[in-house]
Amino acid sequence: MKKKWDCRRMRIPLKKPIGLLALLLFVLALPLLVNSPYFVHLMIMVAMNSVLAMTFIMLLRAGLLNLSVAAFWGIGAYASAVLVMKLGFSVWLALPASTAITGILAFLVGIILIRSGGFGFVMLSALVGMVTVLVFGTFDVFGGYVGIANIPPPEPIILPFFGKVAFASKVPYYYLMVLLFMLVVAVFSAFYAAWSGRAWRAIDLSPPLAMTLGIDIFRYRLLAFVVGSATAGLMGWFYVGYFGAVLPSTFDMFKTFNIQIYAILGGLGSAFLGPVVGTFVMTAVPEFLRIAKDIEPIYTGFLLIVLVLFFPEGLMSLSAYWRRSEGGPEGIARIGRWAKALLPVSKKV
Amino acid sequence: MAPVFGISPWMGTILLPIIFIVVLGGAGSMLGSVLGGLIFGMTTAFGDYFIGSGVAQIGLYALIGIVIFFKPGGLFGHEEEMGL
């Protein structure tokens, strides 16, 4: 894989406050403009999946190919489901509790996983991904393979200007998701901008060189693993509150592969916009292509192959082309070459 | 496999266990793959019968995890042969 991290794309463009503010207003006004519960649901799913893709990219920045994203997402979801259903926690109290449980588990598992390094980490994290689903399916505390159903939604909250907000329709969940999304982006960009982000980049470029600079590789990789997994656990809490049910098969390896597709399609070079673009394309396009539900994966698969063929560095390489900076026009040039090869007529014109 | 199990579009989902069998035995080693497959199949079959399918698989994957942790190249392989 070609390593080309652009550090400009790792941060939020705070120097363009008007654009950011306009984007925020647009995102906040979206449910009022569209007024379709289905569309709001799609946007919620895009936001949740793109946060999961962001955690995948964060681990990749530290030089680790993580195959246990969906497992920790599931651990967060099951922690919150068990806390609410079996131990009688309120759903809001389960938010910090399930995130903390996921973080502590990630810390304990990460000590073993990261010590094994490189290839061992890939295989062991895949094992964690498979064993987690098996544990959820086997033991009765987790409800077996039928999962846990009828989990109550978050309790109504009282806000200063809006009065009592009940989580009855999809719109309050949308605003909750926007809030969580902004929180995650803020925390992640703080980690990227701080010393830890530079340490991750050094580790990713060359671990031995990073070691000579006095960077404790194990500690910084563990930090990335714990932060990423705890964020995935936070999304698990949201999933439980939103859907009200958990199934072990939701959190299996195929979900992890889907998350990877979101991240790679958007472009691994950008930490925030890439996952959002990739997730949006992979979530929205199958919905629009839904001519017949049974053959929709065929179209989606074909589209995915075409996109990866033309844009191996992700859809974000398009934006680099429009900015006329270096390294961007690869995909466009490739389309041009293919078009020339396919259409000999164009040479005469 | 088809005469024994029948065929279905979901046959491909066995891919993940296959990867773990290869890693358990050691990539680049024929004997390792045979032994890995033997361990995998026997543990699954006897585990299903004696202690239940779920617990047996958890134990099996834990065993594979321990092997990878202490010997990243697998039982009969070398680490550098994986090319990663």
Cβ contact, residue pair B72, A120, below 8 Å: yes
Cβ atoms A248, A90 nearer than 8 A: no
Q: Is the predicted pLDDT of residue B79 greater than 80, yes or no?
A: no
- Chain B contact for A130, CB < 8 A? yes
Q: Which of A122, A124, A135 sits opposite B58 (nearest CB)?
A: A135
- By the 8 A CB rule, do A52 and A180 touch? no
Q: Do B16 and A116 touch (CB under 8 A)?
A: no
Residue range A111-134: mean pLDDT, rounded: 88
Task: Tell me the CB-side half-sphere exposure of residue A6, using CA atoms within 13 A.
Answer: 19
Contact residues on chain B for A68, CB-CB shorter than 8 A: none
Tell me the per-residue pLDDT of B11-44, one tens digit each, with 9 for 90 and over: 777 788 888 888 888 877 788 889 888 988 888 8
- Phi/psi zone of residue A206: left (φ > 0), alpha (ψ -120 to 50 degrees), beta? beta
Query: How distant is the alpha carbon of residue A51 from its chain centre?
Result: 3
Strand pairing of A163-165 and A157-159? antiparallel
Name the residue in chain B with its Cα closest to that of A64. B84
Please give, rounded to a whole number of angstroms, the shortest distance from the CA of B47 to a CA of chain A.
14
**Is A109 an 8 Å CB contact of chain B?**
no
Grade residue A325 by pLDDT with cuts at 50, 70 and 90.
very low
Q: Do A123 and B23 touch (CB under 8 A)?
A: yes
Q: Which residue has the higher pLDDT, B61 or A340?
A: B61
Question: Could you give the CA distance from residue B69 to residue A115 in angstroms, rounded to a whole number?
Answer: 8
Does residue A9 carry a pLDDT above 60?
no
Contacts of residue A268, Cβ cutoff 8 Å, sequence gap at least 6: A1, A57, A60, A274, A313, A314
Q: Between A and B, how many CB-CB pairs are < 8 A?
A: 49
Q: What is the CA radius of gyration of chain B?
A: 14
Helical residues (DSSP H) of chain A, grouped into ranges: 17-34, 37-61, 69-85, 91-138, 170-193, 195-205, 207-212, 217-243, 253-266, 273-288, 296-310, 317-322, 330-342, 345-348
Q: How many residues does chain A have?
A: 349
State yes or no: ipTM above 0.95. no
Give A158's Cβ-side CA count (13 Å radius): 0
Q: How far is A106 from chain B (nearest CA, A)?
A: 16
Residue A4: predicted pLDDT: 52
Cβ within 8 Å of residue A304, ≥6 positions away: A261, A265, A282
More confident residue, A54 or A156: A54
Chain B nearest C-alpha distance from A252 (Å): 11
Nearest to A138 among B20, B23, B58 (CB): B58
Q: Which of B52, B61, B69 sits opposite A131 (nearest CB)?
A: B61
Average the pLDDT over each of A280-284, A325-329, B11-15 and give the range with the smallest value. Answer: A325-329
Residue keyed to tokens 């463009």:
A13
In this predicted structure, what is the pLDDT of residue B74?
78
Q: Categorize the per-residue pLDDT at A2 as very low, low, confident or very high, splitting at 50, 70 and 90.
A: very low
Residues 238-257 of A with CB under 8 A from B: 253
- 3 state SS of B82: helix
d(CA A118, CA A121): 5
Name every chain B residue with its beta carbon within 8 A of the beta carbon of A130.
16, 61
Q: What is the pTM of this model?
A: 0.85
Distance between A124 CA and the closest CA of chain B, angstroms:
6
Q: What is the pLDDT of residue A242?
A: 92
Cβ–Cβ gap A134/B57 under 8 Å: yes
Residues of chain B with C-beta less than 8 angstroms from the C-beta of A117: 72
DSSP character string of A193-239: HSHHHHHHHHHHH-HHHHHHTT--HHHHHHHHHHHHHHHHHHHHHHH
Residues pairing with A267 in the sheet: none
Residues of B in contact with A120 (CB under 8 A): 68-69, 72
Taking residues A98-110, what's their average pLDDT?
Answer: 95
Compare all CA atoms of chain B with the CA of A140 and give the residue at the minimum distance.
Answer: B54
At A132 the pLDDT is 93
**DSSP characters over A89-132:** --HHHHHHHHHHHHHHHHHHHHHHHHHHHHHHHHHHHHHHHHHH
Nearest to A259 by CA among A283, A295, A223, A289: A283
